[in-house]
A and B are shown apart, each in its own frame.
Chain A
Amino acid sequence: MRMKNNLFWTALLALALVSCRGDGPRVDIKSEADLAGRKIVTVAGSYYDGKYSAQEGVDMLRVNTEADGLMAVRQGLADAFVIDEVMFSQETLDQMGLEKACSGEECFPCAFAFPKGDDELLPAFNEFLAQMRQDGSLDAHAAHWIEGGPELPQQEENAVKRSDEPIRYLIVLTTAPICFLKDGGWTGLDVDLMRRFAAWYGRPLQVSDVPIGSAMIALQTGKADVMSGCLFPTEERRQHVTFSDPYYYCRPGIFVRSGATVARKPLWERVKNSFHQSFVAEGRWKLIVYGLLMTIAITLLSILLGTLLGIGFCAMLLSRRKWLRGCAEGYSAFMQGIPTLVLLLIMFYVVFASANVTGSFVAVVTFALFFASSSGTVFASSIQSVPRGQWEAGYALGFTKFGTFRHVVYPQALKIGFGPYVSHCISLLKGTSIVGYIAVQDLTRASDLLRSQTYEAFMPLLAITVVYFLLAWLLRLMLNLAMPKK
């Protein structure tokens, strides 16, 4: 009954959101100067973020992705969105009820970023760029992706295979036409260029997408070889990474609500469209399914490993040796004191920096360590809340210490601790939604990708809301079924 109610409310909320179109007044902006006094939105950490937040009289809203920026303007949370002007197709803008008000004055170079001190890939890449610039194919490349010009002929593979080791390439932007998913693979202005380079250079290419903050760390800690996504070489960035020569020059665009009333299709049509765009087109549902499997795998493995570790941790907490107890208490204080995300980043970029392990492995280890502390504490406090007299009664009847624990104390502790344990499991499930930061494509990351691909915010969010809810419900059901009755 409760479940039905929850679903009902979720559905109602989603419908309300889907039907709500940007109805804020149209804002008159003709040049960059008109931005003064306006509320503008930028992508956090982007070049424009730095540039405009230094300007006086600008009220700045920072969002994580381009899709969020569009949404913020559409919903009237901000007046204008400043971002690279090439970022959105006319179709996308129409669909969102937005338009480009004007372009910025300055032109910015875009470049690929390499780790500091890279003396292999960077020179080669610059040489490749120079070649392309010289024979005009660099301009043709841009013309193809930005203006829809003819496609370049396929890059010839280098006859010499330098290595089977792939070039680990991170993209920090996931929008057309720069970097986007097509037919299940990444492509776009940047990705295609890098792919051509890899072929020319003679190494395979491995593309993954991560938020820009993690990408910077990955590059610095040697977890990646190169990154891009409309990156401007700023002074600050140069302190941490080395930039290639520019491969493209780009202007900022200022996007506002178009004021044109979007032709309102019937609600059902819109929901159907939105659903089609988000899940059916280009087989995007595969992303959600893959993410779902990843989330389930990480959660279950972490619970399993974490529970095993938690039993050991519990033994330490209950130990008669003072130093063991001290260690355990310190560990638990540490685990409770730092955010999971920070621990995850530290594990990936520091602890396992040089080890050749996948992000999902690190995620499982991190969450297991985390879960060991919370589950172990639950186990220990449940055992301690069984009165001392129960142990004595067991001993007095002739049971060994283990027998007393197994038959007398454990069944009672289980009753006390099972509820909190299940809660911790559910928390863990929800907590795994941050693994996108270390390039693991879980459920949340899948919905982020969908949103940046389609600019359909609500369908993917609604979908993962429902999926997480069902997962939590299933997990609880499963654990309750698995609970020993005696």
Chain B
Amino acid sequence: MIEVKHLSKTFVNPDGSSTTVLTDVNCSIGPGEVISIIGPSGTGKSTFLRALNMLEPPTGGEIWFDGENIMAKGYPLEKMRKRMGMVFQDFNLFPHMTVLENVIFAPVRIHGIPEAKAREEARELLHKVGLSGRADSYPSMLSGGQKQRVAIARALAVHPEVILFDEPTSALDPAMVGEVLSVMRQLATEGLTMLIVTHEMKFARDVSTRIFFMNKGIIYEDGTPEQIFEHPERSATKAFIQRIHKQVFEINPSSPGFDPFEMGTEIHRFCNKYAIPRCAEPATEIAKEMVMKHLRPYDNLTVRLTYGEIRDVAELDFMIEGLSHTPLTPEMDLSRVRSLSKELIEEPTSRGFRVKFRL
């Protein structure tokens, strides 16, 4: 359905120098495929997606859509774009139109569908994305998640064969990511061809039929979610997949101003950022109790909060430098911290002794 051959894109900077974002992208996308494009930031994921519908005209290569080279000179881009919808990171709803008008806009103006029929269809679509009650609202009255669902309905309204999703949840509050993802999950099951640039690894793994791992301007590894997430072949893929987010707090004599309550704030911020708000409260409570009570005698302490996205595991650990035995004693009442965590692990390391809570 879409063939991409040796696609490249070089930006010319205002100072005359140039930056190459896409070096040589090749792929073939069949109907019904749901492809998530993942990878470190700055590797051209969005540029590639935006090149597919020529919002970002490539500087080299070919894109074939249904047997036609859309990069050929004089090719009417509108013709291809009518069949390839797009959902943007910033929604880009039309603020001067109501929700319903946003949805029927292209069907009526471009596809010449009678307005009454378009309205009827639009209401159905809005119902599908859970917004039947907001048809006459203006976009400025909606939350981020609602706006993005309207944008999805708008893209669906012209019955596209493909929809491109450009980081559809990146501009959303963590609390609203779920509502958008669940709409997309539903679409994926309905046989629509989807290309999704995303940072939501769990979503990508669950929903996709294929994963493109992009790195350094090329599709670095291409495979099923299982291949990419469980058995990545190349080292850069592996490093990216297994990467862990972490936040470290050092408590030692050289940092006398340590503020346990500020640590709590930081923990909350971390949990919100990586969409694990469920861990925020237990992690804060455990950290406070350990630092202020049980581990108080030790003045060389490192607290670390980690989250592995793919495995979906959050851990809070306490490292006491140079200690070879466990700092925990039978006299300590650990019942509360135990109840807040799934598992308590004590392990000696070369650096010192580590007490780890799995959250």
Give A residues with C-beta under 8 Å from B: 387, 389-390, 392-393, 395-400, 403, 407-408, 411-412, 415
Contact = CB atoms under 8 A, between A and B. Distances in A.
Main secondary structure, interface of A, reads helix
Contacts of B92: 387, 389-390, 392-393
Given A407-B109, A411-B96, A399 B78 contact: yes
B96 to A, nearest CB: 5
Contact of B96 (A396, A397, A400, A412): A412
B113 interface: no
How many B residues touch the partner, as a band?
Answer: 20 to 34
Contacts of B158: 397-398
Nearest to B97: A411
Interface string B67-86: 00000000001110110011
A403 B109 CA distance: 9
B204 to A, nearest CB: 22
A396 B109 contact: no
B223 to A, nearest CB: 29
Contacts of A392: 55, 88, 92
A399 B88 contact: no
A397 B106 contact: yes
Main secondary structure, interface of B, reads loop
A400 B76 CA distance: 9
A403 B81 CA distance: 14
B94 interface: yes
Interface of B: 53, 55, 77-79, 81-82, 85-86, 88, 90, 92-96, 105-106, 109-110, 154, 158
The 4 closest A-B pairs by CB, nearest first: A398-B82, A393-B92, A396-B86, A389-B92
Contacts of A396: 53, 55, 81, 85-86, 88
Nearest to A397: B106
Nearest to A415: B96
Nearest to B164: A396
A398 B96 contact: no
Contacts of A408: 94
Nearest to A400: B78
A396 B85 CA distance: 6
Contacts of A411: 96
24 contacts: A389-B88, A390-B94, A392-B88, A393-B88, A393-B93, A393-B94, A395-B55, A396-B81, A396-B88, A397-B81, A397-B82, A397-B154, A398-B79, A398-B81, A398-B82, A399-B78, A399-B106, A399-B109, A400-B78, A403-B110, A407-B109, A408-B94, A411-B96, A412-B94
A483 B95 CA distance: 19
Q: Name which of B53, B81, B85, B154 has the most chain A CB atoms within 10 A of its CB.
A: B81
Given A392-B55, A412-B96, A397 B88 contact: no
Q: Name which of A389, A392, A411 has the most chain B CB atoms within 10 A of its CB.
A: A392
B93 to A, nearest CB: 8
Contacts of B94: 390, 393, 408, 412
